[in-house]
Structure 1
């Protein structure tokens, strides 16, 4: 999903972080198995009906007899339900939050049953480890992919599908819902929509609502796809797909998730004194080629319409989906913890701080701390181990 260079940096950063916090020898999870949940006639927040919905999910640890030790992990925009562990011993890298999920880790699978679920309109419907329903899914009424006939969906719809999965397991109350980035939106909306079912909520690199700046910024991810002639108003499943638009969108998503500090560290040596860009206007700098290569790899499983629907779901977000954010937060009873990244330029700390302050003003139990690091938005994944002790303590209180 990322360039070889960025992949190496991510692995090195994770190992360094684990070493610093004494977690290199933490016990590993058993091999993880992906499962599939399906439901019929799903009603969307917008009032439409989806004839059949399927989502993948995986779990770590054991559900106790009382079924009161479940923690739900909700994933980020370009991610999926593979939050921890490996599918096989040969996997090069475990799930994205493996540093904090597992036996003896912050989210301790010796104690908790940890569940993660693929969202609707997942970015990668062609990924063999993802099961999702969206525009690329066959519409049973036509026998063809939905395309733009698929209804617009929201973060609340992601939450409601997750609720059906949780219900199918006989779980009434979640010990916690924890998510990063788009996952933090889901975690917060879980607490707002189902206050009697969520005891704790952890929002990592998140926000309470999409403000005008964020809506406009997210639109930059959609525009390359919309402006690709092959997009054809979403009808491309029997013709050439808008690959160029998808690659451009994914390149912007990757760059927007990084802080200049880490980009400059990775590419300073190669960018200094490059000759080709001076000699040929068509030649790219190394950093541009690397981002392009990473985007091309990620485009292998990605779907253009799915990216557009994910963008819209994030643009439409307001926790609680009421007339104001304060109104949307009013029903929350869960203890809350907000962990933005200090150097995040995508979902900046002010967004999480505003939610925290509103909850405190409403007399709710809310805590706030920041994740420091050079990665920007990605510090919510790469540097999450910084806050492992706080997360562990929060889950035990």
Structure 2
């Protein structure tokens, strides 16, 4: 894996910091400084059979923790990360590094209080951030022990449920007997819902943030996200890891451009005011760019250089397979835990307000106790990643119930 990372690291600098800067995922303004530098650890899970029947020879995922597990193993909280994220939800991984994306609400004395709770966050399988030294994942870039070469597109398909099952193995190894809360934004919110359906007796409370059901419409959007990768001739049907081969950076950058714009809102885009990029005139030259296009080009290219195209495809498929083992959303929610806090933002262009309302209604129809909280801000979907501080006291009260 280290050899692959070195080969993919061309143009990559700054690891997690680059991720934060290019995607706007630094800690929320005004967030209190992290209290300590945390250790990123590696869970070795051995052989794993996927829900689809495939075999992963050597399961490895990274994780971090804060707080102390009680003797009963019942004060744990699991934080699941968003599509382009990793386990760095709280604390700092170095003294001068950035704080985690939810650091405003996780830590000693904060709404998710690590003086009371043992908080765990883990990298998913097929995490997109393969070149980042602070991400540990098993996916298409990993070495297949049977061949000594990267799996590439022979890696087994994994679903959202596989994310849950690998996290369950990790929690079991840590001595966790019950989760007081499972929570996360976007893809992390989907994992939270999947957890609630899969292990209702293990989970007390559920807090999906900027997430709802993946319906056929959203499956279609996810297909649009990944389509540019498959059109890049350097993708080679996923066979681009060999030394000397060019990476499918162009297709991956175009994919990230779609994600980046959809994850933001019109209010954020007003800063570009339809103006041309510096020194360019789109009214006279068809190749010249507007300011918003120029920003998207630069941000998406930087993001492409910190991620893996094949992992992007596998992450898309895992999202498309959300709750795929249940005949309906109602069936998935029927036996789920009773207590829910659904956090959304009206300007979300990924999980639209009507979809969140339908999901919340489905929870109530299933007899769940559902509280809701709304986020404001100009960042649309990303409000649920970097703008959680205003709902902190709502979260504290939810945990106290």
TM over 0.5: yes
Matched residues in 1 for 2:79 and 2:141: separation? 25
2:204 alignment partner in structure 1: 199
> Of the candidates 339, 343, 350, which is equivalent to residue 339 of structure 1?
343
How far is 1:118 from its partner? 0.1
1:128 and 2:142 matched: no
Do the aligned partners of 2:340 and 2:371 also contact (CA within 8 Å) in 1?
A: yes
Paired residues for 1:113-192 under 5 Å: 113-192=118-197
Q: Where do 5+ consecutive residues of structure 2 fail to align?
A: 1-17
User: 1:27 and 1:77, CA in 2 relative to 1: closer, same or farther beyond 3 A?
Assistant: closer
Separation in structure 1 between the aligned mates of residue 386 and residue 112 of structure 2, nearest angstrom: 16
Asked whether the 8 Å contact 1:2–1:294 carries over to 2, the reply is no
1:354 is displaced (CA, Å) by 1.9
- How far off is 1:2 after superposition? 5.7
What displacement does 1:272 show? 8.9
SS in 1 for 2:362: helix
Per-residue deviation, 1:300:
2.0
SS of the residue corresponding to residue 345 of structure 2 reads: coil
Structure 2 equivalent of residue 81 of structure 1: 87
Decide whether the 8 Å contact of 2:130 with 2:307 is kept in 1: yes
The answer to whether residue 390 in structure 2 is matched with residue 386 in structure 1 is: yes
1:32 to 12, 31, 38: 38
Note the 1:39-118 alignment, pairs <5 A. 39-91=45-97, 93-118=98-123
> For residue 359 of structure 2, what is the aligned residue in structure 1?
355
Select between 290-299 and 246-255 the one with higher mean Cα deviation.
Answer: 290-299
Q: Distance in 1 between matches of 2:19 and 2:177?
A: 38
Distance in 2, matches of 1:41 and 1:127, equals 24
Q: Deviations over 1:228-272 (max 9, x none)?
A: 11111111111211110011111111111000111113x228549
Match of 2:14 in 1: none
Q: How does 1:299-338 map to 2 (within 5 A)?
A: 299-318=304-323, 321-338=325-342
> Offset at 1:368?
2.1
Structure 1: segments with no counterpart, 5+ residues: 19-23
Structure 2 residue 281 is the aligned partner of structure 1 residue 276: yes
Q: Deviations over 1:175-217 (max 9, x none)?
A: 1001100000111111110011000000000013x21211111
2:377 to 361, 373, 379: 373
Assess, with a 3 A threshold, how the Cα gap between structure 1 residues 85 and 269 changes in structure 2: closer, same or farther: farther
TM-score by length of 1: 0.92
Equivalent pairs counted in the alignment come to 382
Match of 2:219 in 1: 215
Q: Secondary structure at the match of 2:147?
A: coil
Contact 1:37 1:55 in 2 (8 A): yes
SS at match of 2:337: coil
Give distance in 1, aligned partners of 2:274 and 2:261: 18
Q: Normalising to structure 2: TM-score of the pair?
A: 0.91
CA RMSD of aligned residues (A): 1.9
Paired residue for 2:7? none
Change in Cα spacing, 1:46 to 1:117, as seen in structure 2 (3 Å) is same
Deviation at 1:65, TM superposition (A): 2.2
Deviation at 1:387, TM superposition (A): 0.9
Q: Give the CA deviation at 1:275.
A: 4.4
The alignment partner of 2:28 has SS state of helix
Contact 2:43 2:61 in 1 (8 A): yes
Within 2, Cα distance between the matches of 1:4 and 1:40? 35
CA contact (8 A) 1:179 1:204 kept: yes
**What is residue 262 of structure 1 aligned with on the other side?**
268
8 Å Cα contact 1:274/1:285 also seen in 2: no
